[in-house]
Amino acid sequence: MTEPLLDIRNLSVSFATESGPVTAVQDVSLSVAQGEIVSVVGESGSGKSLSLLSVLGLHDPRNTTVGGTVTFRGQSLLDLPPKQMRHLRGRDIAFISQDPMTALTPVYSIGDQIAEQIRAHERITAWAAQARAVQLLADVGIFAPADTAKRYPHQLSGGMRQRAVIAMAVSCNPALLIADEPTTALDTTVQAQVLDLLRKLRTDYGSAIVLITHDMGVVAEMADKVVVMYAGRVVESGPAAEVFTNPLHPYTWGLLGSIPPLTGTRPRRLPSIPGAPPMVGRVPAGCAFAPRCPARLGVCSTEPPRIGTPGHTALCHLTDSQRATARPTTLESA
């Protein structure tokens, strides 16, 4: 097996707050191979965006400390000098943020903003950069790209803006795209178009994609690999097909249960996971999911072990037999 493109090992992120340091992300490991789509799934506040932002060095260094190792193409990112990190951002690793409404600077035209990124990384004339911007807008399926390039963000619809953001992200042919809930703020029909576009970009540009989402439906449609996060930790990770057919962690069961079935009788109501995830800094000891877990055991108040096969692991106390009995009952009761 070749060296992965991005390799995150034991990443931790903590904040300094008014009442002392608070750990928001703990012991997160994941790797992304060339051209692969990896989905990071979890509820809001599970630390999924934060992990990837700190990988990019986009956290606030004044109150955030990041630990662990992050390797990109064999290069360690966390101790890279800011200047080199900057050259990497936008050129080798691009970022697509959640809300296209606020992701673009309101006072510059779309074309200018794309050209700005190209010119930050390549020696190219302003005119050529603008021409590239128009070409990129055409590539992401924008009708009348030359006209759109001259427009300002507030003059475009949400879907158009997200396409523009994506065009900007791929403008320097990045090897890795980090997309933070790229479809959450969009209408359902537009969501599908944007996902199609991301898939197409993977084939056209060969970029690997880290897709941060809370939507298991999106994961099922896109991902090669799945990383499930809960309360700042990875509770399950593995190839998408395996996680969907044989989920190990009760939290993943809950997430899968929330996908409406496409065939068969329609359930009267979709099962949901009771309760809410713990707030950052108020994570209970032992397994963080235990208070909401349908298969909770006495041992769950202690640190759970990492179980499973090398490719597909979970952070859980349940043994295989306990899991076999617990899962059907939770599905029924739900």
Interacting residues toward another protein by CB under 8 A: 43-44, 53, 56, 58, 62, 82, 86-91, 94-95, 97-99, 102-107, 109, 116-117, 120-121, 152, 154, 165, 168, 214-217, 254-255, 257-260, 270-279, 282, 284, 291-292
Of 301, 306, 298, 290, the C-alpha closest to 251 is 290
Query: Could you tell me the smallest distance in angstroms from the CB atom of residue 38 to another protein?
Result: 18
Question: Which residue number, 115 or 307, has a Cβ lying nearer to another protein?
Answer: 115
Question: Which residue number, 116 or 306, has a Cβ lying nearer to another protein?
Answer: 116
Partners of residue 66 on adjacent β-strands: 13
- CA dist 222 and 199 (Å) reads 8
Query: Could you tell me the smallest distance in angstroms from the CB atom of residue 98 to another protein?
Result: 8
Q: What share of the chain is helix, strand, coil (3-state, %, to 5)?
A: 35, 25, 40
Residue type for position 282: R
Question: Which residue number, 239 or 291, has a Cβ lying nearer to another protein?
Answer: 291
Question: Which residue number, 103 or 142, has a Cβ lying nearer to another protein?
Answer: 103
Query: Could you tell me the smallest distance in angstroms from the CB atom of residue 33 to another protein?
Result: 22
Question: Which residue number, 112 or 224, has a Cβ lying nearer to another protein?
Answer: 112
Query: Could you tell me the smallest distance in angstroms from the CB atom of residue 65 to another protein?
Result: 16
Q: Is 330 exposed, middle or buried, given 0-12, 13-18 or 19+ CB atoms closer than 10 A?
A: middle
- CA dist 101 and 89 (Å) reads 22
- CA dist 104 and 46 (Å) reads 26
Q: Which two tokens stand for residue 69?
A: 């190792």
Query: Could you tell me the smallest distance in angstroms from the CB atom of residue 42 to another protein?
Result: 9
